[in-house]
Amino acid sequence: MKFISILSTLIFLITGCSDIGATLAGKEVTRVSTGVGEIVVLDDKDGISSIEINCNNGLIIKADWTRNPLNEFGYDIYEPEVNMDYNRLAVMITARSAIANYLRGEYN
């Protein structure tokens, strides 16, 4: 058992693949290509989920979010991180739209 744990850690470090780490942590990984760019959602139904949007214009948006326990389509988003100066409203609309589309099942 210890060997498998060490092996999976080495694979994660060598490949740098966050999908392996997310899967081992119990998160569902969804990748989709849209008109905005490439979207990766790491969904933890009981904890903090995250989204990364690699926009076609070079902007990268990373944000954490949690589900609202009172509503299956509700969520709370934390302040997104971006790799360049960009309009905050546009960043929030893009991130919120991607999360809402995911929760509605449009990325399945």
Q: Which amino acid would we find at residue 15?
A: T
Interstrand relation of 81-82 and 60-67 (parallel, antiparallel or unpaired): antiparallel
Instruction: Tell me, yes or no, whether 2 lies in a domain.
Output: no
Give the containing element (helix H, strand E) for 32: strand 28-33
Q: How many residues does the chain have?
A: 108
Separation between Cα atoms, residue 62 and residue 60, nearest integer Å:
7
Reduced to 3 states (helix: H, G, I; strand: E, B; else coil), residue 89 is helix
Instruction: Tell me, yes or no, whether 15 lies in a domain.
Output: no
Residue pLDDT, tens place only, 64-101: 999 887 777 789 999 999 999 999 999 999 999 999 99
Domain residue limits at 48: 26-103
Instruction: Tell me, yes or no, whether 16 lies in a domain.
Output: no
Instruction: Tell me, yes or no, whether 70 lies in a domain.
Output: yes
Instruction: Tell me, yes or no, whether 50 lies in a domain.
Output: yes
Separation between Cα atoms, residue 103 and residue 59, nearest integer Å:
23
Instruction: Tell me, yes or no, whether 14 lies in a domain.
Output: no
Instruction: Tell me, yes or no, whether 3 lies in a domain.
Output: no
Global pTM reads: 0.75
Residue pLDDT, tens place only, 15-30: 445 555 555 457 899 9
Instruction: Tell me, yes or no, whether 4 lies in a domain.
Output: no
Count how many domains the chain has. 1
